[in-house]
Amino acid sequence: MLVERMRRVAAPPEMVIAALTNVDNLPRLLQRAERVEVLQRSEGRARIAITVSAGKLGHQRVEGEARLLEDGMRFIAVTPTQMDVRWQVRAAAAGSEVTARVDVDLQRILGPLARLIGDNLIARQVSAELDKSFVALEELVVPPVVEQDGLPLA
């Protein structure tokens, strides 16, 4: 199942990419992430383990590799499921255009439950979580507007 979302962010691409590739930001960017461990790091790559909350099902440890790309980042999870998450950042008017794509093997995660739950329900949930990730990303890279007497201050 593939889910894709796009949003414009009022920050330059370099700043957005820096926020996306900072491992310390992952718990904030990923709503379900509770803990992130860097298992191994090399130039432009890191093997990481993310402990995610699965609601009533408890916690799950997802391991994979994060890769810095020229135009963003990519995380490929290999254990216990196969998931490919790609964040692409392009220059746009007044900032950046950010596209997030999540491709996940639901059958491997949910087994027979995947047929009962259905792709549409899961796609809506993933879309909602991506929207929250975009909000968190914007909070990381766009300074808040401070108002005094109803007028924005620079």
CA distances 13 to 17, 43, 45, 104, 109, Å, are 6, 20, 19, 26, 33
Q: Cα-flanking dihedrals φ and ψ of residue 27, to 5°? A: -60, -30
- With b meaning 16 or more CB within 10 Å and e meaning fewer, what string describes 74-103? bbebeeebebebbbbbeeeeebbbbebbbe
Cα–Cα distance measured from residue 107 to residue 89, given in angstroms and rounded to the nearest whole number: 30
Q: For the chain, give the longest Cα–Cα distance.
A: 58
The per-residue pLDDT of the chain, averaged, comes to 86
The pTM (predicted TM-score) of the whole model is 0.83
Residues in the chain: 154
pLDDT digits (tens, 9 = 90+) for 91-122: 999 899 999 999 977 666 666 665 666 667 77
CA 96 to chain centre: 16
Domain 2-31+70-142, CATH homologous superfamily name and number: START domain (3.30.530.20)
Question: Which residues make Cβ contacts (< 8 Å) with residue 37, sequence separation at least 6?
Answer: 48, 49, 50, 51
The string of pLDDT tens digits covering residues 53-90 is 877 778 889 999 999 999 999 999 988 778 899 999 99
- Is the Cβ–Cβ distance between 48 and 67 less than 8 Å? no
The domain limits of the chain are 2-31+70-142
pLDDT at residue 153, as a whole number = 57
Cis peptide upstream of residue 143 (ω within 30 degrees of 0): no
Nearest-CA neighbor of 47 among 56, 38, 35? 38
* Structure confidence at residue 3 (pLDDT): 92
